[in-house]
Structure formats: structure tokens, C-alpha cells
Structure 1
Amino acid sequence: MNAVIPHASAEPVPRRGEGEPHATGPWRIAAAGPVPEQLAETLRELLAPHLPGRLLPAGSDDPAAHVLVLALDDAPPAAAARTTVGVAPDGGAHPADEAYRLRVTANGIECRARTVEGVFRAATSAVQLIATAGAGGELPFQEVTDAPRYAWRGLMVDPARTFLTPDELRRIIDLAALYKLNVLHLHLTDNEGWRIELPSFPRLTSAAGEAPVRAFYTVAEFRSLQEYAARRFVTVVPEIDLPGHCGMLREAVPGLAEAPAPAGLKGRFPFVPPLDLTDGATRATVARLLAEVCALTDGPFVHVGADEAFGATAESFAASVRELRTLVRQFGKNPVAWQESSRAGIDPRDIVQHWVDVPMMDLPDTEEELAARPELVAAGQTLAFIKTLKKFFAPTDQDVARVVEGGGRVLLSPQSHLYLDRPYATRFAPPEQTEAAESLGFDSYRPRGVEHAASWEPAAYAIPDDCVAGVEATLFAERFEGFDDVTVLLLPRLASVAEAAWCGRAPEWAEYRERLGRHGRMWNERGLAHFATTEVPWAG
């Protein structure tokens, strides 16, 4: 009946009035009653690429135009019976009411919900209906009722390694909003770069401030990005990655104390030494940093990293994580951290992002198995190095259990399916994108097709509902650069993550690939490069 993603079940409704609405005609947006006009203006911005010259300005009353109606309605949609679980990204005690009802009539499309946020979710479905309409532009009469399964539905991008301009981030925010994602997690710091201006620490961004492009976000730009996202009901979560991944911080602020290393490991591997936050001067510096970041952040969450602290003892790492959590809470925000943080103890306030375990890493055990993995051989990995990695990551196999036992919340971001820096399998590449399939993505991951990402089941981890924070896709940027590379790796896989996060289950592939095939045109109209996998029948 429709190609909406995430899946929105539609029921046909009787034809009322003469004619049938067509996406190809002129359209206007009408905000009814108490719906703020700003919401209508935001929808005009999202619709504009798909209705060039046919989206009428505010105040138009052209009787020939189809109307996209935005209205509040006290009657709950039937889909509101779906239980929403997880952490509210706006910091509310309970998940937002995002249930909506959408109806296609002879006059256009009606978007109704009990909340303005619900009306917006309905309107993004309307944008997709218009952008993915058939060749003749017909919009079949139908009624959709819908509501989300998970409250936190996120996307992480990595401007620390591949800088994204503010305008490029706005385009990603628009894309996230169209697929009903409501969190943009920004990995702002790493060994390669520090991308947020902190006025008290000008040296952190001085190297990134040279011509021709200033590669960091000023205070004003970061505030503006958050305001832009909020108008699309997307919460921005900044990440300051500590106590590891601190190369740029060490370069800008010399003399920070090194964490004590496990016996026999100091200096053996080329990793930047993690910080020791039990050192008073180092803690004071980090406290000043986090105070500024928290003050700049409109949303309720700040991510503190806590992953891959290679070269720190377990005791030192745990002590540093506890200090990071304490500082963020002291400055009025809620800390989020990667799953390794569970080893510092868990209480019900903690949100822990699950990304890996040893089986998920899909690494060989023998020289023969390594030889059969050309991507690992090409990356220069040896069996000795792989064994060391497995030993280092062995505690990850118990991290989720630690979170559940401590009453914390798990944010699901498994590397196996939701790390979108995984290379595409070349056998699914159209000829013109074979090179992209071979070169894009993290070179140690086994290449996969789009169907693999779409097969992910959130329920596979058997985590109790009250211990789930939500779902978040990630796109780390060690092995590519440029905005087109970002969107090629995101699309089409981000759509299936959005569907699993909203619906709570993997789509049925045969049906889903047909819907997905109608979204290529929508991405083209938005100027977003994508991987045109041969697994999908793309519509013209």
C-alpha cells in the first residue's frame, strides 16, 4: 500500500469526494488550531526538495492545491497500544507520546496526534508518501496508525575523524528526522581531532582553525545545530571520549597524568596512554573541560566515551570512569558511556552503549582461518595481534550482564549489524560503485550486503524491557573522508536500523526491499549519495 520506512501499516479507506490526490500537484501545509506555525515551517523545509516549484508559501489558500493538515487530536490512535520502552532522549521521566494517525483523502493528507511530536512523526510519513509515490504520482486512499517501540532511536557520526560542516550535519539531521530517529550522537573528540570550541582551551581547536576550512564547531554553531535539531525533535548528544582516545587532548594540554599500565604492556602497542583521573591536576583539567561542554549542551545527556582504554589497569580505568560520571552529574547532565564503563560499577542511573563482544568481532583462531580472510590480511593483522585483541576484549562478553544485574540501561549498538562503517560486499555493487565497495569502511570488518544489516533483531539479546535504553546506529570514520562517503555508508542501511528501532523487529526482507527500492529517488532529490546495491529493485 505504501513505501513508508519505518513500516507503517495502512488500511484502505472509502473514497470520499471526487478525484484522487496526486503527489505531482501543488501542495500547501496547514497548521490547525494550536499546532505551532514553526512546525509547519519545518515541514516546508523537509518537503521542499521533493516538491520543487509546487510547495506553496505560508498563508496560501489556493483551492486547487492538496493540503497537508497538521492537527492535534485527543482521540488516541489504535497503534498507541504498542508499548514504548527505553530512555526518553529529551530527559523526560516517561517516553514521549509519538503515536499518530495519518489519513489520505481526496483533499490531501491529514496528520493527527495527541502531541506536537506525534504530529511531526505523522508528517514525516506524509513526506515519504509524497516523495516515493508511483510513476503517476497517485496517493491511494488509506489510513495509518502508528507508534514506536523504542524511545531512544539514534545515529552516531564521527566528525572527530572526518569533519562534517554544520550544513552537512543539518542534512544528516533532516535524514534522521525523516526516518523517525530522534538522537544525533556526535563523536566530537578522538586522537585525530577535537571538534568543539571551548573558550577556556583555545589550543584544542587551534590546529583545526586554519584555512581553507575551519574544522570545528564554534560555540554559536553548536548552539545553532542543537536548535535546528530540536525543531525536528532530534536531541544532540555530544561525546567527549575519555580516558582513552585522548591524543588531541594530550597534544593541546601537555603534562596530563598517564594511567598506570598493566604489567608487561607499557609501550608495547602504539596506543596513546589513557588519562589517570585519580591525579588531582588531571581531574581538575577534565572537570573544566566537561563543565564547559555541559554548559553548551541543551539536551540532558553527555557521552563520556570510556571505550578501548588500551594500556590502563582495570583499577585505574574503573576509577577514571567513576570520576567522569560524577563530574557530568555534578554539572547537571546525565552521563552515557560505552559498555566497558560497566566495569566501574552500575546503578539504575547508568546508560551503557553495547557495541561488541568477542564472538561479534568475527576473528579467526588459526593461521588457516586468517588466510581465508583477505580483508584482515590486507589490513596487516597477524594471528598474534588478533589473539592479543581477543584477550583485551574478553571482558566484553559479560558487560551486558553487568548492566542488567546493576539495574542500568543498555543502548543497543552491536558492531555486527549497526556499525555502518562495515564495507559493502563487492558482489552486490553495481559496476560504477565497485571501487567504493572496495575502499569504503573499516578494513578489518567482513564485508556484508544490505540484507545482513536489515536482518538485525533487537529482541535477540533477551534484555528485559526495563533495562533497554534504545537503539543507535554508528558510523565511525577512520577509513573514509567527505560527505558523500558518509551518506554512501549510511544509505541504504540506516533505513533498516530506523525500522527495527521504531517497530521493534527486523523487516521481512522480500517485502522490505520493495519499499526500500522507492527511496533511492527520495535520496537523489535530497542530493544524498547512496550505495545502489543489486539486492534491491530500485525504482526509476
Structure 2
Amino acid sequence: MLIPRPTELSIGEGVFELTRVTRITAPAELAGAASWLQNSLRPATGFPIETGPDGAIQLEWDPQLSPEGYTLDVELTGIRIAGGGPAGVFYGCQALLQLLPPQIYRKGRVLGEQWVVPVVSIRDAPRFGWRGVMLDVARHFMPKHDVMRFIDLMAMHRLNTLHLHLTDDQGWRVEIKRYPRLTEVGSWRRESQLGGASYSRGDSRPHGGFYTQDDLREIVSYATDRAINVVPEIDMPGHTQSAIAAYPELGLAREDSEPLGVWTRWGIDDNVINLEDSTVEFFTNVLDEVMEIFPSPFIGVGGDECPKNGWRLDERTQQRKAELGLASEDELQAWFIGRLDDHLSRKGRRLYGWDEILEGGLTGSVSAGATVASWRGMTGAITAARAGHDVVSCPDNQVYLDYRQSERSDEPIPVGTVLTIADVYRFDPVPPELTPDEARHVLGGQGNIWTEHMDSPRTVDYFAFPRLCALAEALWLDGERDYDDFLFRLDTHLQRLDAIGVEYRRSSGPRPWQERPGVIGRPVTPQQRTAYFSPLTSRIEGA
């Protein structure tokens, strides 16, 4: 019936029918939830759904519930939704919407439908406090309207954290008023790599876009009204060529006089920033403006996939290493991340970075509040949790939603290993190696959507859904999972996605317009994956 599945659900006899005279009653503190419910019920039903006293739908507080917990009781004569906090009440409203016919999700009036809700009693609360999605808007820019549509889809599935990957080698997407060239120059590239192989050609088509600070404040407000926290990420010290293209003084010394442009290829770029005090100041100034936009307790700084060879070969960086009394390039990166952490901590925020921040000694370089996103398997989660740092699990071999969905030859631009709905449904953010005390550091998990090969929101739909439905249940449900039961409920849930207009992947495979014939991907065999990750894993384990 519902996705994600509630903790407790019992069905009675009969139905409650929504009619033209149905009203909502809510205290002033829940006016936002009442307004959202009105706006969700009105379009398809055509009913006014006014607010007022003695409404058949009642929204209430219940201090006995957790902040995200809710109860939903449907009787023949009315509906009561109670939550321990605004998020709990909102989730109760989302559950109510799923109990109605799937046509309730349409944005125009639907004739001939009976708007009935089965008599039911639900008691529900999530297992994890971080139920997230990382959305990469740097590789391919996603317009503001489509980001907010994606937020609505997250809220529908009771996901509560949007990790917004705003910068990378291929584009800078956030307006920084102190440094206007970051968007004037860094927000667009002359073309994009077409395909996943190193020899793939370019498409000869300029690509770009960025969000103004007002755009991002609007996104944050929109997400907050839907119980979603937006965590921004400014990726550094690697993945910074778009910034170096805008401000060449941030880069390493180059013998050639031709300035770098915004990168047009995928993969790991060898160009990284230098580690001068002026460069540290540049990025702390960027973070200051980011913090003015995003109230999130967590601020992402990346820290992933930073090639060290440029630092090894650069005379000035080697002098810098000696000045700082550091023994290795890994320690150089740890020093840089530590300076960012100092700055964020003084502002009352928490640094959030990929598990490479473990390299060079996480414990000695950053504060206790620094939080690790473990993407290279679960090794980072284990290491960080045992060191007393909080963790968000997002292992690539379980929840990278840009990975191919089958072995079929018509999957569009297939990369990585195969991740099916069943694979994602089995995901557990807590490594079994952790003790109960260590496991408390696991805040939850997230799926990652990297968009190198997703050049439109339609393509994001294809890769994200319905795997994101499975992830939502894996992160929400506190109890035994039943995959067959999930698939049974998914049949109805897909009708909801159809009503919304989500272009998800069908079980029969991609539709003709979802294919990309002739554009090759980057399949990774288990042997290739082991060869790629083994040296990185050994560096983490030695941290």
C-alpha cells in the first residue's frame, strides 16, 4: 500500500470519502502542513478543501512521538494525523495522500473518481535520521524548477536530506558575489564528453548554468517546507578546474601560458589548487557566502579524488610542505581540510566530506564534529565510526544510482557495476563489523546520482526511479524487510509516479527514447573495481 512501508499498519472495514465540504483543522503552528495538504488535494479533486474548526481532517501534535514519528487514524467519519514535530505531521500527510487513488497526484481535475481512503490505523517512525540523495548539478546543470520537482519526489518518499553537489571540474553552479568570475567563467564549458570511454569524442555543444543566491534561498525554503535539509557541497582541493579557470592564481604553476578552461572531460582531472594561505582564504570566503545561503548544520567540502602528483612535482608546493612540517601529500590534503574544518567549526557548522578526508589522519586534523560520507565501500564508515566520527554510508557498489541497471546492451551509457532494485533494497548503512556504540555514529545513508551521462531531468528520472523507492524504504523501515511485499506495493506506487509524470525505468527495460545507441559506457568488472579501489582502501586503513 505505502512506500516506504510503515512500522505498524492495521486495516479496518469501510472507507472515509473526501467530498466538497471536507475541511482541515490544524493549530496555527501547523498552518504550513495544512496548506501543503490543501494544495495537494485540490487539483485532482476540484474540491476547495478549506480550513476551519471541526474539520473532518485534523492535524495535531503528539509529544509522545519522535520529531519524525507520526500516527494516522482513518475512521468512517474523519481522519486524525498527529506528529511529534512538523516533519512527523508532514509525513502523516504524505501517507494520507498515498492512501487515496493514484490519480490524486495529477495536477488537473480528474472526473469520475471516488476519493476514498480505507479505514486504517498507522504508527510509524524512521530508523535513520539521515535519509538522503546526493544530486550532482555540476556535471549537468539542472534548472531550478526541476530541482524543486526532485525535492517533491524526495518528500513523497520521506527522504529528508538533499546533498547538492554544486561545483566540480566541469562547472561551478553557485553565485559567489565576492568572486563573480566563478559563474561568469566557471559556470559553462564549451562541450561535453559524449560517452564513458577515455577516447569518447566531445559533443561540440556548450553547456552551462548556475543558481543565483536568491535561487538557492528559494530552493532551501521550498525544501524546508517539505522537511528536507539541503546540504551544499563545494568540492576541493581536487575537482576544482572550473574555479582555476576563473581564477588562475588558485592553480599550480604552469610552464605553458595558455590558461586552463572549464574541463570538458569526465573522470579525475589532474589539475588541483595550490595550498597557499591566499587560496585557503579564497575558499573560506566562498564558504562564508555558502553558509549565508544554507542554514544546514553540515557543509560539504568534498575532499575526494584529489590527485597528488601535481603537488609532488610542484616546487612551491614542496616548499610549502616543508614549511608546514608535513611528511606527505596525504598530510598536505589533511592540513587543507583541517583549515576548512577550523573555519566551519568557528561558525557553528560541521564539515561533511567524502571518505578521502580520512587519508593523512582524520582524527588529528579535524574536529570531532567532522562527518564522513563513506563511498568506497564501507571501509570509510568502519574507520570513521571507530574513530568517533559520524558517518553517512553511500557505498558505490550498493547505492550509486548512476550505475547501470542491468546487463542489457540497450541500457543508456552503462557505467559501473549492475545495481538492480533488489540490490538497492538490501542496502544497510550500518556495517556489521561495528559494535552497538560504534554503530550509533552511523547517521544513516544516501543514494548518489552523478550526472556525467544524465543531460536532462528525464534521464535523471530513468536512473533514479524506481531504485530510489527501494532506497527510501531501506533507510526508513525499522524492522524486517520483505522484497516480494515491496514489489507488490511498488505496482501501485508506479501508478502514482505515472500520474506525476516520472519517466522511470520499466521492468521490461528502457523505452526507445531512453536508449543511447552508439554511445558507449564504462563497464567495470569486479577485477577492475578491486584494482582501482585497493590502493585507496589501504590508505584509509592506515589512517
Q: Which residue is 1:240 aligned to?
A: 234
CA 1:213–1:424: 2 relative to 1, 3 Å? closer
Preserved contact between residue 6 and residue 180 of structure 1 (Cα < 8 Å): no
Q: Which residue is 1:399 aligned to?
A: 380
Give the whole-Å Cα distance in 1 for the aligned partners of 2:463 and 2:188.
Answer: 27
Aligned residues, how many? 447
1:185-225 CA-to-partner distances (Å, cap 9, x unmatched) read 10000001000101111111114489999711101111111
After TM superposition, give the deviation of residue 329 of structure 1 in Å.
2.1
Q: Which residue is 2:418 aligned to?
A: 447
Give the whole-Å Cα distance in 1 for the aligned partners of 2:447 and 2:248.
Answer: 34
The AA in structure 2 aligned to 1:20 is V
Q: Give the RMSD, CA atoms, in angstroms.
A: 3.0
CA 1:28–1:418: 2 relative to 1, 3 Å? farther
CA 1:161–1:53: 2 relative to 1, 3 Å? same
After TM superposition, give the deviation of residue 291 of structure 1 in Å.
1.5
Give the whole-Å Cα distance in 1 for the aligned partners of 2:249 and 2:8.
Answer: 59
Q: Which residue is 2:465 aligned to?
A: 491
Give the whole-Å Cα distance in 2 for the aligned partners of 1:209 and 1:271.
Answer: 17
Structure 1 residue matching 2:233: 3-state secondary structure: strand
Match of 1:106 among 76, 82, 89: 76
Preserved contact between residue 20 and residue 49 of structure 2 (Cα < 8 Å): no
- TM norm structure 1: 0.76
After TM superposition, give the deviation of residue 97 of structure 1 in Å.
1.6
Q: Which residue is 1:523 aligned to?
A: 497
Give the whole-Å Cα distance in 2 for the aligned partners of 1:446 and 1:144.
Answer: 38
CA 1:26–1:495: 2 relative to 1, 3 Å? farther
Preserved contact between residue 271 and residue 311 of structure 1 (Cα < 8 Å): no
CA 1:454–1:10: 2 relative to 1, 3 Å? same
Q: Which residue is 2:302 aligned to?
A: 305
Give the whole-Å Cα distance in 2 for the aligned partners of 1:161 and 1:129.
Answer: 38
Preserved contact between residue 26 and residue 34 of structure 2 (Cα < 8 Å): no
After TM superposition, give the deviation of residue 493 of structure 1 in Å.
0.7
- TM norm structure 2: 0.76
Structure 1 residue matching 2:416: 3-state secondary structure: coil
Give the whole-Å Cα distance in 1 for the aligned partners of 2:23 and 2:412.
Answer: 43
Q: Which moved more, 1:304-313 or 1:513-522?
A: 304-313
Give the whole-Å Cα distance in 1 for the aligned partners of 2:440 and 2:80.
Answer: 34
Give the whole-Å Cα distance in 2 for the aligned partners of 1:506 and 1:494.
Answer: 19
Preserved contact between residue 500 and residue 506 of structure 1 (Cα < 8 Å): no
CA 1:342–1:472: 2 relative to 1, 3 Å? same
Q: Which residue is 1:70 aligned to?
A: 59
After TM superposition, give the deviation of residue 69 of structure 1 in Å.
2.5
1:29-76 CA-to-partner distances (Å, cap 9, x unmatched) read 51323443222112233445xx51434243489x9xx943312234x3
- Where do 5+ consecutive residues of structure 1 fail to align? 81-95, 261-268, 358-396, 428-433, 536-540
After TM superposition, give the deviation of residue 20 of structure 1 in Å.
2.4
Whether 2:288 is the aligned partner of 1:318: answer: no
Preserved contact between residue 71 and residue 122 of structure 2 (Cα < 8 Å): yes
Match of 1:178 among 156, 160, 185: 156
The AA in structure 2 aligned to 1:68 is I
After TM superposition, give the deviation of residue 155 of structure 1 in Å.
1.0
Give the whole-Å Cα distance in 2 for the aligned partners of 1:468 and 1:420.
Answer: 21
After TM superposition, give the deviation of residue 460 of structure 1 in Å.
4.2
Aligned residues with identical type, % of pairs: 26
Preserved contact between residue 127 and residue 477 of structure 2 (Cα < 8 Å): yes
Match of 1:353 among 356, 362, 373: 373
The AA in structure 1 aligned to 2:15 is E
Q: Which residue is 2:11 aligned to?
A: 12
Q: Which residue is 2:314 aligned to?
A: none
Preserved contact between residue 6 and residue 122 of structure 2 (Cα < 8 Å): no
Give the whole-Å Cα distance in 2 for the aligned partners of 1:27 and 1:175.
Answer: 29
Q: Which residue is 1:472 aligned to?
A: 446
Q: Which moved more, 1:2-11 or 1:251-260?
A: 251-260
After TM superposition, give the deviation of residue 27 of structure 1 in Å.
7.6
Q: Which residue is 2:517 aligned to?
A: none
Give the whole-Å Cα distance in 1 for the aligned partners of 2:459 and 2:181.
Answer: 29
Give the whole-Å Cα distance in 2 for the aligned partners of 1:145 and 1:303.
Answer: 34
